[in-house]
Amino acid sequence: SYAYSDQEFHDVNTQYENTRTYRGSLAYQHNPKPRPVKPFENVAFIGKSKWLRLIKDFNFNFGFKQITARTAIDRSYLERLIRPNPDIQSLPPAPTYNKTFNWTNQYGFRYEITKNLKVDFNANNNSIIGEPAGRVNTDDRDQYQVWKDSVLTSIKRFGETTTYDHMVNFTYTLPLDKLPLTDWITANATYGAGYKWDRAPLTQDSIGNTIQNSRNINLTGQLNFVGLYNKVKYLKKINDKGRGRPASRTAGKSADARKGTDKEKEEPAATGLKINPLEGLARLLMTIRTGTFTYSQNNGILLPGWNRGSNVIGMDQGFGAPGFGFILGEQNQDLNGNYVRDFASEAARNGWLVQTPSIFNPYTNTRTETINGRLSLEPFRDMRIELLATRTRSENKSSFFRWNATEQRYVNDSPRDFGNFSVSTINWATTFSRDDENFVNSIFTQMLAARPVISQRLGSADNGRSAPTDSAYWSGYGSTQQDVVIGAFMAAYTGKSPDKVKLDPFRMLPLPNWDITYDGLTKLALFKKLFRTFMVKHSYRSTFNIGGYQTNLLYEPGGDVLDAGGNFLPEKQISVVTISEVMHPFINFDATLQNSLLAKFEYNRDRNLSLGLTNYQVTEVRGKEYVIGSGYRFKNVKFPFQLGGKTPQSDLNLRVDLSWRQNNTVIRKIEEGQNQVTAGQDIISIKTSADYVIDQRLNVRAFYERVINTPVISTSFPSANTNIGISLRFTLTQ
């Protein structure tokens, strides 16, 4: 493609302003279809055995799956001259010029080494083409020839690179489906590597360029336990009986159609309740149905002050710097997060960095590790349990790695570590604890009592640095020492013994949260007579978080540095630890009666605990909510007015929801042992609505909403908000 534009402009202040732009691009894409080589496909004895399928299906490719390339040039030339000022005739204006000449190259390929192993590579290179300063005058042949020679010389050198980046991904699917014993498992591994080179500003070459890389590792596994069970014929027969329930097959039908279907299926459903004890036991043993697991690790290095250029695939001209390992995602940390090298120090030894103290961008190392697990259970038909577990930890290590002229060497100035940590946990043992009339909570009292036990465990494991004192605490591990308070907080609010709780919160293992659903009550005669559907739900989520921890610059490993309270300084300075617990819903009943009336009851609970390590207090926010809802659909209701000579007829949907929510915030001071209510309110909400579809494009809705807020403390005032109205929604496109 090619585009050219010429723009002329002038006004009272501008004698002329001419702008010319030239844009051109050329793209190429080739999608060959290489035939995979299967050397063992036609070997007779291999093809007859399912145990040798892995060998039979072995394959590889010689050719690329896709090759792409694109080059684009974008040139802009502006020449401007302002009108002379008659009051300053001695300084006639001179023309000014603004020129850009950018060249972008993109290329990539896709190569399927085997059907299970694939490689993708994509790269971008942005450069500028050098031009002589001043006007481009095509009328002056000598001057124009100089301009052309300069531009052609720059083009032959592929311009002056300003930015280069690439991304390469390796994807591997484990051939577990080729083996009879593991064909119920699916596993994938992905390795992604990124690299970027940024040129220093043209006017600040002395500060050097900037390079960075990234490494992304993802492991995913899926386990279909039903496929494993079905390898046994007897178990497969039991599983086949449970396929497809009448309720799910009729969910999308109208009410009348469902009634007919229910009658047709009534007899099979009734006989389905008669379960053979042996089959019931076998079905119970097959409770685990599916499982998924995901592990991801993302790392990155950013290093300013780089004095090497960018040539092919981002390397310098000698292909020595920064090295194939770096451009393919090699990091300073191994897969376990242990530092095994320092790339900045290696670059300094090899002379790859500028020798200037004027480096004001930090040298950083980042790492994020995420683990997710999910397990689907069905202890018996109509009951489904989802178990979920998560763990995430992110770290950012930064420093100013630059030349020190006084010491004549490179130094790491102001090293700092930042990070966040989150893990799913279970606090069920303390969920239902209550405050007394003075807002004193037994769990908080247990936390205060657990501190001496945690202090003793920390002190006795500290290689002789700490010793017992006359008080209940060991030296250096007093009542407000960070590790002591966090350990006591974890023990008390997770319901564990202070003698057994983990002292290092970063070593906590993820515990499962859950969702439970049961919709089999309609198989009982009493429920079946009253309800068309009846579903019961329960959910539990709890997360332990450490937010925004950072390195303590005064910390010395094994040192005796104490803070003002006589406590050892921790290696990581943690400002806040939180536990978030949500049960939405704690219990939920959602039913459809035989007359199509909808009924809903829901009870929700939540709790947020925040341990402040700067003010030594626990802030506890509790909430509970009751929700009652109902709805009904009136079929074929005529609209009271004619539209277009016709009276619309459609369903009228009515909905009513009532909720009552109580929130309460209590601050519990650790040192003073005080409990104080600081906030809270009772919130009553009433929501009603009526929806009517006039036609396919027009919908009318009438609604009434009222929210009443009554505070529990005298410093706040009650309030009430009411929303009432009618809304029309018209859809322009269908």
Nearest CA to 598 out of 539, 638, 657, 661 is that of 657
Least confident of 139-153, 534-548, 617-631: 139-153
How far apart are the C-alpha atoms of 603 and 343, rounded to whole Å?
55
Confidence at residue 275, expressed as pLDDT on a 0 to 100 scale:
62
Span 370-381, average pLDDT: 94
**Helix 277-285 to helix 233-241 angle, to the nearest 10 degrees?**
100
pLDDT band at residue 142, thresholds of 50, 70 and 90?
Answer: confident
DSSP class of 583:
E
Mean pLDDT of the chain: 90
Longest Cα separation, the chain: 110
Residue 44 has pLDDT above 90, yes or no: no
Confidence at residue 734, expressed as pLDDT on a 0 to 100 scale:
58
CA trace torsion 399, 400, 402, 405 (10° rounding) = -110
Confidence at residue 733, expressed as pLDDT on a 0 to 100 scale:
67
Least confident of 186-190, 202-206, 364-368, 422-426: 202-206
Span 136-144, average pLDDT: 87
Residue 611 has pLDDT above 50, yes or no: yes
Span 92-99, average pLDDT: 90
Least confident of 385-399, 532-546, 718-732: 718-732
Query: How large a percentage of the chain has pLDDT more than 70?
Result: 95
pTM of the model: 0.85
Bridge-based pairing of strands 576-593 and 698-711 is unpaired
C-alpha 28: how far from its chain's center? 35
Nearest CA to 62 out of 29, 31, 37, 30 is that of 37
Write out the DSSP string of 480-508. Answer: T-HHHHHHHHHHHHTT--TTTS-S-GGGP
Question: pLDDT tens digits, residue range 667-695?
Answer: 999 988 889 999 989 999 999 999 988 87
Residue 610 has pLDDT above 50, yes or no: yes
Residue 581 has pLDDT above 70, yes or no: yes
pLDDT band at residue 571, thresholds of 50, 70 and 90?
Answer: confident
How far apart are the C-alpha atoms of 382 and 254, rounded to whole Å?
22
Confidence at residue 265, expressed as pLDDT on a 0 to 100 scale:
44
pLDDT band at residue 47, thresholds of 50, 70 and 90?
Answer: confident
- Residues 110/65, Cβ–Cβ less than 8 Å: yes
How far apart are the C-alpha atoms of 680 and 676, rounded to whole Å?
12
pLDDT band at residue 335, thresholds of 50, 70 and 90?
Answer: very high
DSSP class of 335:
T
Quick one: tokens of 567?
A: 């406590």
Least confident of 27-31, 90-94, 220-224, 509-513: 90-94
495 vs 433, 481, 488, CA distance in Å? 11, 21, 11
Question: pLDDT tens digits, residue range 394-429?
Answer: 999 999 999 999 999 999 998 889 999 999 999 999
Confidence at residue 474, expressed as pLDDT on a 0 to 100 scale:
92
